[in-house]
Amino acid sequence: MILTSSDGKNWQHHEIYLEGQGPIRSVVWGKNQFIAVGGRHIITSPDGQKWTIQNELLRAELRGITYANNKYIAVGKSWWGTDNGVVLTSYNGTDWKENILDRGPLNSVTWYKNQYIAVGDFGTILTSPDGDTWTRQDSHTSAWLYAMS
């Protein structure tokens, strides 16, 4: 389900069925469109009300997305029977490049001080200047990191 509001007080519900693949986990606005990720799907909308499935049954469970530096970055967990993280990148929200990382599953991603930062299970913190090359940072914890801002 996605909720939208033009004033922050009155909310409209938009039911979105993703074939039992889990809930919508994250939504971002960029390049005049909303993009949402959840389960094994990426969906887009020009207005937050009418949604189109862009990719069905990806090989990853997506948990977070951001838009910055003219690029969308989605993160999650690979579905290849491992606990590897996955990063998907796109310039248009339709065509995606997959990068499976030998790190734990990723839960959230953001842009801060000219770099992307992703966090995930097992204390994983990764940084990237471009969304393609990622460097592990020492978090000094093995806790699962779910979100950041």
- Domains plus CATH for the chain? 21-137 (2.120.10.80)
Q: What are the residue ranges of helices labelled H in the chain?
A: none
Query: CA-CA distance, 74 to 66, in Å (whole number)?
Result: 7
pTM: 0.90
**Per-residue pLDDT tens over the stretch 114-146:** 999 999 999 999 999 999 999 999 999 999 999
Q: What share of the chain is helix, strand, coil (3-state, %, to 5)?
A: 0, 50, 50
Query: CA-CA distance, 53 to 29, in Å (whole number)?
Result: 16
**Per-residue pLDDT tens over the stretch 70-81:** 999 999 998 766
Predicted local confidence at residue 57, as pLDDT: 61
Predicted local confidence at residue 146, as pLDDT: 92
As a whole number, mean pLDDT of residues 13-21 equals 73
**Per-residue pLDDT tens over the stretch 19-62:** 656 788 999 999 999 999 988 889 999 998 888 888 766 778 89
Predicted local confidence at residue 55, as pLDDT: 73
